[in-house]
Amino acid sequence: MGTYVARFVRVGPPPTRFGESPEQRRQTISAIRINGLPLNEASWLQVDTVTRLTAPDGFRMLVYPDSHSPYEHQGVLRAIFDFAEWYCPHLSVDNGDFLDLGEFSRFARNVKDGMPFSTAGSIEAAKHQLRAKMKAGNPALLIVDPGNHDDRERRYLSEFAPQLGGIVNGANHNRLTDLATNILNFRPDDPIMFCWGVGQVGGKEGGLILQDYRLRHGNMVDPKPAYSAYKHVLKSLDNIGIGHVHRSGDFAFETSEGLVKHGEEFGCNLDWDAPGTNYGTSDHDWTHAFGVVEVNNGIAHVQVIPAILGEDEEGRTREYFAFLDADFNLVEFPIYE
């Protein structure tokens, strides 16, 4: 949660949308390439390699960080959906850990108020969440970069019941633990794509590269904000945006060759105080946030948008997201209670 306090927060989304004609939108989307193919030809539901994405100037992409269904913060997501309806991204990205699956965790259970959700209920919540992200702002495609929580059921079976883990669905020939098809019930004609790494291991590989910028869930953690992204950049020498750590922050530095390297952490969208979560502590430094990536002059420009504090018309303190539009006007999106 930020420390800056604004004096006014608009209640509800702003009245006007991001400026773009329907023809401009069609031209931008038609110029996007995924692994060298136009969007209408790149009809993969799942890939097991890093996905290469190129886009023209004017391209806009929205990045959703960790939501951990069924513990997603409904008010935070609703505010981001309001932003999406105004921003109208050409593509959206879920950067992983959209599921929690705490019941398959190898760590000791320490939940508050019991476990109010079943595994089936968690999966249904994740389906609803992803389908809402597929619609918010009408992106041409939702790209999912699965995280370490999203493949917990596969890892659990591979460790404790590997014989069951190898059983396949006779209808689609995928393993019963296949996340996209057999668990979430997506089809190849749905506007969604899962960008796994080799072997469909969440969090450690996969993701996508837009121009010179990589989005991946991440697997390294440092307690200081932005230092986890810094570790990823040092390891791969890519400009990188990650989720995983639930903090928001960014950094940039210049190499000895004069190149600027940067990294971002996009926060989280979960309700860490919800009954059943493992996450609520007295000293956490997690942040409700999301990100946007825009292409200008052939370069991917990244912005982390954290929640900050402000006052509504009645003087009540509220969390909200704020963004400068192309004309440098501040638009505000309150987080619903």
In a domain, 61, yes or no: yes
Distance from C-alpha of 99 to C-alpha of 150, rounded to nearest angstrom: 5
- Rounded (10°) CA dihedral 171, 46, 289, 79: -50
In a domain, 82, yes or no: yes
In a domain, 309, yes or no: yes
Whole-angstrom CA distances from 253 to 234, 247, 259 are: 11, 20, 8
Look at residue 315 in the predicted model and tell me its pLDDT.
Answer: 82
Spatial strand order in the sheet of 60-64: 46-47, 192-195, 142-144, 91-94, 60-64, 289-296, 299-306
pLDDT above 70 coverage of the chain, percent: 91
Question: The CATH number of the domain where 96 resides is what?
Answer: 3.60.21.10
Average pLDDT over residues 103-124: 76
pLDDT at 134 over 60: yes
Mean of the per-residue pLDDT values of the chain = 87
Lowest mean pLDDT among 124-138, 183-197, 255-269, 307-321: 307-321
Angle at 51 between CA 106 and CA 256, to 5 degrees: 95
Look at residue 47 in the predicted model and tell me its pLDDT.
Answer: 92
Q: Read off the pLDDT of residues 96-105 as tens digits, 9 standing for 90 and up.
A: 999 998 888 7
In a domain, 15, yes or no: no
Distance from C-alpha of 81 to C-alpha of 321, rounded to nearest angstrom: 11
Distance from C-alpha of 230 to C-alpha of 228, rounded to nearest angstrom: 5
pLDDT band at 3 (very low <50, low <70, confident <90, very high): very low
pLDDT at 113 over 50: yes
Q: Read off the pLDDT of residues 274-313 as tens digits, 9 standing for 90 and up.
A: 887 876 555 578 999 999 999 999 999 999 999 998 877 7
Can you give the residue range of the structural domain that contains 148?
A: 22-334
Q: What does DSSP say about strands 37-38 and 142-144: parallel, antiparallel, or unpaired?
A: unpaired
Look at residue 191 in the predicted model and tell me its pLDDT.
Answer: 96
Higher pLDDT, 265 or 326: 265
Look at residue 112 in the predicted model and tell me its pLDDT.
Answer: 62
In a domain, 215, yes or no: yes
pLDDT at 39 over 80: yes
- Could you give the number of structural domains in the chain? 1
pLDDT band at 111 (very low <50, low <70, confident <90, very high): low
Q: Which two tokens stand for residue 332?
A: 């505000």
Look at residue 259 in the predicted model and tell me its pLDDT.
Answer: 85
In a domain, 163, yes or no: yes
In a domain, 219, yes or no: yes
In a domain, 287, yes or no: yes
Which residues are paired to 288 by β-bridges? 268
